Amino acid sequence: QQQVKQSPQSLIVQKGGISIINCAYENTAFDYFPWYQQFPGKGPALLIAIRPDVSEKKEGRFTISFNKSAKQFSLHIMDSQPGDSATYFCAATTGYALNFGKGTSLLVTP
């Protein structure tokens, strides 16, 4: 069963626009929510992560918004650039194995 549901499956954004990827989970025991970025032919790399004691975390152009009551979290990429084109995975864990969403393929057009 998919413990973390991610949407959309694919996303096309113009350069300078905002990319938004959403994830939802059911297990209230999850207490660590990372986002991974994967380029073709490479392994996923940690982009940004959040714990449920905060509602938002920002690192540069990347922001995670976390809604504990709704059991949802999202990634916002501000001022999206062509170099951001990649597959993005959300994940959640209780401190055990990471449970990944199915991924979002982001294309930022020039």
Which residues here bind other proteins, judged by CB under 8 A?
Answer: 6, 31-32, 34, 36, 41-46, 49, 51, 89, 93, 95-103
Min CB(15)–other proteins separation in Å: 25
Nearer residue to other proteins within complex by CB, 16 or 39: 39
Min CB(88)–other proteins separation in Å: 11
**Is the Cα dihedral 81, 84, 86, 90 positive or negative?**
negative
How many CB atoms lie under 10 A from the CB of residue 78?
Answer: 13
Nearer residue to other proteins within complex by CB, 32 or 61: 32
Min CB(70)–other proteins separation in Å: 22
Smallest Cα–Cα separation from 21: which of 65, 76, 60? 76
Nearer residue to other proteins within complex by CB, 3 or 17: 3
Are 57 and 48 spatial neighbours (Cβ–Cβ below 8 Å)? yes
Min CB(16)–other proteins separation in Å: 28
**Is the Cα dihedral 26, 74, 44, 14 positive or negative?**
positive
- Dig out the tokens for 21 from the structure: 């990827």
